[in-house]
Amino acid sequence: MTHPNPHSDSAATAEILIQPTRGWSWFSWRELYAYRDLLWLLARRDIVARYKQTILGPLWNIIQPLLTTVVFMVIFSRVARIPTNGAPSSLFYLSGMLPWNFFSQTFQSTASTFLVNANIFGKVYFPRLIVPVSAMISNLVALAIQLATFFVIFAVEKHFPRAGSFHLTAGVWLLPLVFVQVAVLSLGVGLWIAALAAKFRDFAVLSSFLLQLWMYATPVVFPLTRVPARWLWVAEINPMTFPLEATRQMLLGAGTPNIVLFANSIVSTVLIAAAGVLLFQRVEKSFVDVI
């Protein structure tokens, strides 16, 4: 006798086989899709809960990058006099922070997946990848708000032209693809750290330092053209260089992406993400027993 259930197709598959898995395993798109409602609800939770009991709420998504931009303008532009490829410094920093903030937020939320959700993971099963992906989706909201802020400042700068020139370039419609790459890359790196930190907390500590270092290895506060020749290799192997330069080129005409950066970046993004997923899937199996 089977209980007729109109939703039996939607949440879990008909037959579940539980046995020890050996070696590495990829995740199942079908299962991820079956849990899509949970994906959205978790993303929604992250968005709603983040600004509960704050006075300004989502406005922080506007204020925080603006404040950072002002700080950058004072320190890197006025004091250190680092040029900004001819673009107004405000737009230069804001455009750089679009991909970088999205990257760092997603990286951080992904890296802490196991530590933050240890309790839930110990009590109920769902594909664990849901959690980092839903956090990434919630970060997209912050990204969208920041992008809107960018365009407001863009319009203001256009209206009161100062020295320097800037313009949207024809390739701007490719911008979403750049952010897709950043999403995949940040999830990939984050999954690495999450998997390692599940067993060794040391990596949780290390990750914030890594992120800091990574920012200075990425042309966020300086243009790629100002990187000394002997350090150029760092920028070239860094998969975040291309998204940064591409964003700047698309939004301001002030970036210098090239085919070498592009190829490097795409290849390493795919490799890092694939390895990250494999490692994460492996740790996921035994994580409850070691945490």
Partner 1 sequence: MSRPILEVCGLSKRYTLGSIGSTSLRDEFTRRWEAMRFLGRRGAAGRGAPGAAPGDFWALRDVSFSVQPGEVLGIIGRNGAGKSTLLKILSRITEPTSGSARLRGRVASLLEVGTGFHPDLTGRENVFLNGAILGMTRSEIRRKFDEIVAFAEIERFIDTPVKRYSSGMYVRLAFAVAAHLEPEILIVDEVLAVGDSSFQKKCTGKIQSIAADRQRTVIFVSHNMQAVEHLCSQILHLDQGSVAGFGPPAAMVADYMARTAEARGTVRTRTLADGIQLDNLLLSPNPVTAGDPLKFEITLSAPVPTTVHDFHMVLNNPSGYRVALVDLRDARGPYLLVPGQPAVFAGSIARLPLVDGSYGVGFVLRTGREHQDCNDLFHLEVRPPPPRGPLVPYAVQYQGTTVLDYTVETRGVNTR
Indicate whether 124 belongs to the interface with partner 1 (CB under 8 A).
Answer: yes
Indicate whether 21 belongs to the interface with partner 1 (CB under 8 A).
Answer: yes
Give 46 or 245: the residue with its C-beta nearer to partner 1.
Answer: 46
Which residue's entry shows tokens 């949207």?
168
Tally Cβ neighbours within 10 Å of residue 269.
24
DSSP 146: H
Q: How far is the CB of 10 from partner 1 (least distance, A)?
A: 5
Q: How far is the CB of 101 from partner 1 (least distance, A)?
A: 23
Q: How far is the CB of 259 from partner 1 (least distance, A)?
A: 40
Distance from C-alpha of 131 to C-alpha of 124, rounded to nearest angstrom: 13
Among 80, 120, 174, 263, binds partner 1 (CB under 8 A): 120
Indicate whether 55 belongs to the interface with partner 1 (CB under 8 A).
Answer: no
Range list of H helices, 79-201 = 89-111, 113-116, 118-121, 130-159, 175-199
Give the pair of three-digit tokens for residue 265: 């970046």
Cα-based distances in Å from 144 to 1, 118, 192? 51, 30, 26
Q: How far is the CB of 59 from partner 1 (least distance, A)?
A: 18
User: For partner 1, which stretch binds (CB under 8 A), given 46-54, 100-108, 154-162, 185-193?
Assistant: 46-54
Indicate whether 26 belongs to the interface with partner 1 (CB under 8 A).
Answer: no
- Tell me how long the chain is: 291
Indicate whether 229 belongs to the interface with partner 1 (CB under 8 A).
Answer: no
Q: How far is the CB of 189 from partner 1 (least distance, A)?
A: 19
Give 24 or 40: the residue with its C-beta nearer to partner 1.
Answer: 40
Query: Which 3-state string (H, E, C) describes 45-100?
Result: HHHHHHCCCCCCHHHHHHHHHHHHHHHHHHHHHHHCCCCCCCCCHHHHHHHHHHHH
Q: What angle do CA 92, 185, 24 make, to 5 degrees?
A: 175
Indicate whether 20 belongs to the interface with partner 1 (CB under 8 A).
Answer: yes
Within 162-201, the residues that bind partner 1 by CB under 8 A are: 199-201
Indicate whether 52 belongs to the interface with partner 1 (CB under 8 A).
Answer: yes
Among 25, 41, 63, 151, binds partner 1 (CB under 8 A): 41
Question: Which of 224, 105, 95, 86 lies closest to 163 in space, CA to CA?
Answer: 86
Interacting residues with partner 1 (CB under 8 A): 1-3, 5, 7-8, 10-12, 14-21, 35, 37-38, 40-42, 44-45, 48-49, 52-53, 119-126, 199-202, 285-286, 288-291
